[in-house]
Copies of this chain bind each other. A is one copy, B any other.
């Protein structure tokens, strides 16, 4: 018998509203921007929720601070821990610092030094490990055992999902209603939160996930009706190389209309448009959502579409081959 795919019980409209109130003092209410030349290029009326302007440069701040604010004081005092080489590491470090707690971040030894420096700049304690998933999990378990810190998962956590959903909630409040919301899909926390906000706060807004073709585990999982982990992801969108989790997949499965896959050249073209026309800095993962709108004109033509620009931590030292 096939396993039931059920949305976690805690993901309710009231919980989303409560999360938003809880985190309001700790995050920026980021602006919503429009750009007429990008509208003309994409053939739709686009509204960009600029989480690249969020604290530490990405929406991850929302979920991290919401999760930490839900911890009892005695747990928070013992610190928090995660393993990540990306934006969640910085988000957890900064959230912990804002709340006067310690953050232990397990990072692969081959993480770029700029990422380690960013975590340290937010006061995070870095514990290096071998660059394998096994080593990351083992090291994290050891850190938790040694310190009593609470592990916070980067996306497979109800409080994190709800926190990420507050970006879409603000977007709907500030510029809605929309025909569609589009969010990039990595672990699925942002897209799940976006789909929940659309379902809870609107009557007709549909949610589409956007994914690199080279890391299409969400699309594969939707087709199969079960979680299919990502192996060997190949994409410049480094935030989207992760597999879905068992809390995010059911939300996507039930609440998204589709997952749209885009090529690397489509990602870079969208990135170029955002940098050149909107004059804002976003990371490749953020451009994936715009690329999805451009690549699926039948779905979006003439529609009003909200796009979550997930983050702005673009590595300026890398060769982007934008041209």
Contact = CB atoms under 8 A, between A and B. Distances in A.
A317 B276 CA distance: 11
Nearest to A281: B279
Contacts of A52: 279
A15 interface: no
A316 B281 contact: no
A205 to B, nearest CB: 27
Nearest to A37: B121
A71 interface: no
A275 interface: yes
A276 B279 CA distance: 13
Interface centre among A52, A276, A279, A282 (most CB of B within 10 A): A279
A175 interface: no
Q: Tell me what chain A mostly uses at the interface: helix, strand, loop, or mixed.
A: loop
Interface residues of A, number: 17
A70 B201 CA distance: 50
Contact of A280 (B280, B320, B322, B323): B280
Contact of A279 (B272, B312, B320): B312
A279 B313 CA distance: 8
A280 B312 CA distance: 9
Contacts of A312: 279
Contacts of A275: 281, 314, 316
A52 B279 CA distance: 7
A150 to B, nearest CB: 28
A59 interface: no
A176 interface: no
Contacts of A279: 52-53, 57, 280-282, 312
Contact of A323 (B53, B317, B320, B323): B317
19 contacts: A52-B279, A53-B279, A272-B316, A275-B281, A275-B314, A275-B316, A276-B281, A279-B280, A279-B281, A279-B282, A279-B312, A280-B280, A280-B281, A281-B281, A316-B320, A316-B322, A316-B323, A317-B322, A317-B323
Given A279-B281, A280-B280, A317-B323, 16 more contacts: A52-B279, A53-B279, A272-B316, A275-B281, A275-B314, A275-B316, A276-B281, A276-B316, A279-B280, A279-B282, A279-B312, A280-B281, A281-B281, A316-B320, A316-B322, A316-B323
